[in-house]
Structures are given as structure tokens and as C-alpha cells.
Amino acid sequence: MSSQPDKNFQLEQANASDDSIQQTHAQLLQTKPEKKDGYSFLPLGILGLMCAAVFFGSIYLAHNSVRFDPLVYSESAKREKPGAVANVALTRAQLGKRVFATTCIACHQANGLGIPSVYPPLAGSEWALGNEERIIRIVLHGLNGPIEVKGSAYANVMAPLGEVLKDEQIANVISYVRSEWGNAASEVQPELVAKVRAATAARKTYWTAAELQQVGP
């Protein structure tokens, strides 16, 4: 009795043809779960999250970022730009305020009053408000020696700024000086600065007040 199962098994084995064995193997192979060779959903999820972050980040930036406008940050930017930026155009004096704040303010002060007996005032100064070509010369080549401003005498030196500032910047800062602190003189154009610069190109020393007095009325 005990040998019965073995006998059956042998019979079954004997009955199995090559074809049926191959078929069985094929079935077994197919139903085997696929091998996951280092394949995981976790990095895919992280990648998806990163894509979403970039996507929504871009939308956020597009809606909330401040547009860079050269007119706001550069005093030498062209004012008459056609198109959408035209409405933020600054006047020459407004652009000149930036030049003043970096180049003149240390001596002539934010209130344009200078420092008594050291730095002369620009507010109400006959030199600032008078002949344009005189103040252009002062900024280009500097000023040396005794000068009377608003009835007070100064005997100091102002260094030349012609090498540091471009024609446009000089026109802007002079326009600012001539229209700030109650001053109300005409705007100065860069073309005039260029003209004076060319006409005085040979000048190597600072001006004196006496020399400047001879420049026009």
C-alpha cells in the first residue's frame, strides 16, 4: 500500500510528454511576478513633486515679481523710450538727484546749504543759478581759490569731476541743482555739456572765480 503513491507519480511522469513539460514551464514563467530591478516609486514621486514646485513657482514669480526697468535704476537711461515704459520716464532733475547723492552731497549737503565757511551753498547760489556754462566748467575742471557765494567768502578747492561723470550725468545733476531747494533755473542739456567739454579740452587746471566771471553774462 505504501508504494502506491510512488507508483502513481512514476506513471504520471512517464505520461508527461516533452510538449506538456514545456507548456507547464512556460506557464510557470509567465505567472512569475516581474522582477523589480532597483525600480521604485519613491524617486518618481519626488521627481513629480519637484516638477510641481518648479511649475507653481514659475507661476508665482510671473504674477508677483517686480519687472526690472532700467529707467528706474540708471540715471543715464534714455528717457524717451517708446512703448510701455514711457509712463515711468523721469525728468532730468529726478535722474540728477541720484548723481548728486553719490557725487556732491558729501560737501554741499542734502539740503544744498553746504557747510558755512568750508563748502558753499548751492541753494540760492548765483553760481548755480546763473550762466549754465560757468557751472558746467566748475563740475568739469573743479574750482580753486577765493570765491564769494551769497555774500560769504570761501577759499577752498573743489576737485574736477569731468573724468568721473559723463555729459548726460553732468547735465542731469546740474539740472537737479538748478531746480531743487527753491532754485528755479533752466534745465541743462547734455549737448551743451559736450560743447563746453570740447571747447575747454585743453584746460588742465582748476578754474578760478575770476576766470569764470569772464564766461558770458
Q: Which residues bind ligand HEC (CB under 6 A)?
A: 103-104, 106-108, 119-122, 125, 127-128, 135, 138-139, 143-145, 147, 149, 154-159, 161, 173, 177
Cβ of residue 159: shortest distance to ligand HEC, in angstroms?
6
Cβ atoms of 182 and 124 within 8 Å: the answer is yes
Decide whether 119 or 196 has the Cβ nearer to ligand HEC. Answer: 119
Cβ of residue 82: shortest distance to ligand HEC, in angstroms?
31
Place of cell 561723470: 165
Decide whether 85 or 209 has the Cβ nearer to ligand HEC. Answer: 209
Cβ of residue 57: shortest distance to ligand HEC, in angstroms?
44
Cell of 47: 521627481
Cell of 34: 516581474
Cβ of residue 191: shortest distance to ligand HEC, in angstroms?
18
In whole angstroms, how far apart are CA 34 and each of 21, 66, 88, 121?
22, 53, 65, 89
Query: How many alpha carbons lie under 13 Å from residue 21 in its C-beta half-sphere?
Result: 7
Cβ of residue 54: shortest distance to ligand HEC, in angstroms?
47
Give the number of other CB atoms < 10 A from CB of residue 107.
Answer: 15
* DSSP string of 176-189, one letter each residue: HHTTSTT-------
Cβ of residue 173: shortest distance to ligand HEC, in angstroms?
5
Cβ atoms of 124 and 181 within 8 Å: the answer is yes
Query: How many alpha carbons lie under 13 Å from residue 14 in its C-beta half-sphere?
Result: 6
Decide whether 120 or 190 has the Cβ nearer to ligand HEC. Answer: 120
Decide whether 144 or 179 has the Cβ nearer to ligand HEC. Answer: 144
Contacts of residue 212, defined as CB under 8 A and 6 or more positions apart, other chains included, come to 127, 134, 137, 138, 143
Decide whether 43 or 184 has the Cβ nearer to ligand HEC. Answer: 184
Decide whether 85 or 189 has the Cβ nearer to ligand HEC. Answer: 189
